[in-house]
Amino acid sequence: MATAIITDILETLLKSSNTTSFPAIREKAKTLALEKGLPEIKEEEYKFTAIQRKLEKSITDFSTAKNISLTTAHIQDALPEGYEGDFLVFNNGRVDLELSKLSKQGYEATLLSSSASDLFGTIAKNEKDVFTAINTSGFEDGIHIQVKKNQKVEKPIHLLFFNQTNEGQVIPTRVLIEIEENAEASFLENSISLDETPYFFNQVVEVKAAQNSKSHYAKLQNESRQAVSVSNFETNIYRDAVFSHTVISLNGDMVRNNLSLNLLDSGVEGNMYGLYLLNGKTHVDNHTNVDHTKPNSDSNELYKGILADSSRGVFNGKIFVRQDAQKTNAFQQNNNILLSEDATINTKPQLEIWADDVKCSHGCTTGQLDEEALFYLQARGIAKDQAKGLLLFAFAGEILEHISDEPFKNHITNLVKERLGSNI
């Protein structure tokens, strides 16, 4: 069953895409994808996310979505107010360099097909997730961003994905980010649905954070109620580097984020923050994975969820501490608030520890707002609804604080405020 569907998907996808670059890697990925098939809900990794059924139902045509006509007006609308940094425009997954603004100060951005980097396909492993394999074999062209050695890129680089298909098609897209030694940079991402037609957004981002580098990636998911989105974000982090990732999920039909931080050397600091603020029937599944392989590295993880209506949140956080990774500090926390009787949360904070001299902890809570805090505010003349909104905003605020770019942060804060106002 599963293999029949994947054959169908890949054939339609490959027939409609121009995939001349990386022939050997793509061929291998294709074979692998065919072998693996789409994940069924019987599989542990996709237990709570019936992605196969969702794709069958909402995607009518598995061909690659064609280009849409984008204008600067679209971009002005999408950029946060007062944003000053560079931006990179993706038109249905394909890079549009003409509409992008790239100062290239301290960094280089080239099409993947022309950079032909050796790094491509070595960080995000096709074996790990079948959607990476589908992406590798079927994406047309992507971007390779190289932040140069010892350079500090002052302003963030904003990746804007504009998505629109006519009848539920596939939008594969690929990003490779290389942060060289001692370099510093930050990235922002936003996916924008131009209308309400369903599509399947299939993203793979590979990041190499070299020795002593500092980088941050912040991502907003506020797509249409019909969008199905699977993102694989894989990072290799080297000695004394700091890498942080923040994801804010507000909208979509079914969203699955696979985020992996591979701590490949000592002195690394890896941070992961997430907020899922859901209503309607939105289903958001965050799978994170931290792999401590060498001694003296730290990782922090904090994911928070507020679930209203019949939305569903899934959190699965894995921390691996390998035998060599002595003196590891790993912290993980997942807090959830359910606002409605029909909302569901499935959470699985998981620790796998093979070294003895480590400090690892995880915590997970699901509950409601603190009655006493509510009462305190009410006693001071704040209406109940407003008090609830305040408390929920404070709960969410802890994640928003980790976004460093002010305009982007304000943009998201406004969206969060708007959502909390309408729901209570």
Partner 1 sequence: MSKDNQILEEFTSKEYEHGWSVNYEADEAPIGLNEDIIRWISAKKEEPQWLLDWRLKAFKAWLDMKEPEWANVTYPKIDLQALRYYSAPKQSKKPKNLDEIDPELLQIYERLGISLNEQKRLQGIAVDAVLDSVSVGTTFKETLSKLGIVFCSFSEAVQEHPELIKKYLGSVVPMTDNYYAALNSAVFSDGSFCYIPSGVRCPMELSTYFRINAANTGQFERTLIVAEDDSYVSYLEGCTAPQRDENQLHAAVVEIYAAKNAEVKYSTVQNWFPGDKNGKGGIYNFVTKRGICAGDNSKISWTQVETGSAVTWKYPSCILKGDNSVGEFYSVAVTNNYQQADTGTKMIHIGKNTKSRIVSKGISAGHSQNSYRGQVQVMKRATNARNFSQCDSLLMGSKCGAHTFPYIDIQNSSAMVEHEATTSKIGEDQLFYCNQRGISSEDAVALIVNGYAKEVLNQLPMEFAVEAQKLLALTLEGSVG
Out of 344, 404, 410, 413, which residue is the one contacting partner 1 (CB under 8 A)?
344
277 is an interface residue for partner 1 by CB under 8 A: no
User: Is 338 among the residues that bind partner 1 (CB under 8 A)?
Assistant: yes
By beta-carbon proximity to partner 1, the closer residue of 226 and 366 is: 366
Among residues 56, 84, 352, 385, which is the contact residue for partner 1, using CB under 8 A?
A: 352
Q: Which two tokens stand for residue 74?
A: 């679209």
| Contact range with partner 1 by CB under 8 A, out of 49-57, 125-133, 252-260, 347-355 | 347-355
Which residue's CB is nearer to partner 1, number 46 or number 217? 46
Among 102, 111, 194, 360, binds partner 1 (CB under 8 A): 360
One-letter amino acid identity for 40?
E
Among 20, 31, 105, 365, binds partner 1 (CB under 8 A): 365
Does residue 371 bind partner 1 (CB under 8 A)?
no
Helices first, then strands: H and E counts in the chain: 9, 19
* The residue type at 378: Q
* Amino acid letter, residue 160: L
Name the region of 75 (left: φ>0; alpha: ψ -120 to 50; beta: rest): alpha
Kindly tell me which of 62 and 395 has the beta carbon lying closer to partner 1. 395
Residue 347's nearest CA partner among 47, 55, 144 is: 47
Instruction: Pick the stretch among 16-24, 56-64, 182-190, 346-354 that binds partner 1 (CB under 8 A).
Output: 346-354
Q: Which is nearer to partner 1, 169 or 332 (CB)?
A: 332
Task: Give how many residues touch partner 1 by CB under 8 A.
Answer: 34
Cβ–Cβ < 8 Å for 369, 336: no
Q: Does 49 bind partner 1 (CB under 8 A)?
A: no
Among 7, 150, 361, 414, binds partner 1 (CB under 8 A): 361
Per-residue exposure over 66-80, b if at least 16 CB sit within 10 Å of its own CB, e if not: eeeebeeebbeebbb
Phi and psi for 91 in degrees, rounded to 5?
Answer: -105, 110
Q: Which of 53, 57, 359, 417 binds partner 1 (CB under 8 A)?
A: 359
Per-residue binding letters, 5-44, with partner 1 (x by CB under 8 A): ---------------------------------------x
Q: Convert 380-396 to b/e letters by CB count within 10 Å (16 or more is b).
A: eeeeeeebbbbbbbebb
Alpha helices (H) in 182-291, listed in sequence order: none
How buried is residue 368: exposed, middle or buried, by Cβ count under 10 Å (0-12/13-18/19+)? exposed
SS3 2: helix
Report in angstroms how near the CB of residue 249 gets to partner 1 at its nearest: 18
What are the strands, taking DSSP E only, across 198-282? 199-209, 214-222, 227-237, 242-251, 254-263, 269-278
Cβ nearer to partner 1, comparing 80 with 349: 349
The CB-of-295 to partner 1 minimum distance in angstroms stands at 11
The reply on whether position 345 binds partner 1 by CB under 8 A is: yes
Q: What part of residues 297-336 is at the interface with partner 1 (CB under 8 A)?
A: 323, 326, 336
* Beta carbon nearer to partner 1, 82 or 363: 363
Contact 184, 104 (CB under 8 A): no
Q: Which residue has the tokens 């995607």?
A: 59
Using CB under 8 A as the binding rule, whether residue 289 contacts partner 1 is answered as no
Does 340 interact with partner 1 (rule: CB under 8 A)? yes
Tokens of 408: 């982007």
Q: Which residues bind partner 1 (CB under 8 A)?
A: 44, 323, 326, 336, 338-341, 343-368
